Amino acid sequence: MAIFMPPNKYGYCVNIGDPRIREKYEDYKRRNGLPHHFPISDKERLEFEEEIKAAFLAKYPERAQAIFRALHIDDNDSGEKGQ
């Protein structure tokens, strides 16, 4: 399963269905006191995605840039919708 996907109509590009990301998603909700049985808001989701993109970019800069470019993901996105 892929960690990133092309941005959809909501601007999301991080695949929370991926088990590696799901664990980080649940941790994000726990750290921010968000309920685990409800979806998070769009703002919270985009903040979570920025955390994931920043961490991936810091750990794998060249690979991240290539993936972001191929999927049309802006690694400097400020929460605006993709493409």
For the chain, domain boundaries = 1-83
Output the CA torsion sign for 12, 17, 20, 26: positive
User: Cβ distance 19 to 1 under 8 Å?
Assistant: yes
| Interval 27-36: pLDDT, tens | 999 999 999 8
Question: What are residue 14's phi and psi, to 5 degrees?
Answer: -95, 130
Q: What is the DSSP letter of 14?
A: B
What pTM, to 2 d.p., does this model score? 0.83
Confidence of residue 74 (pLDDT cuts 50, 70, 90): confident
Other Cβ atoms less than 10 A from the Cβ of 25: the count is: 21
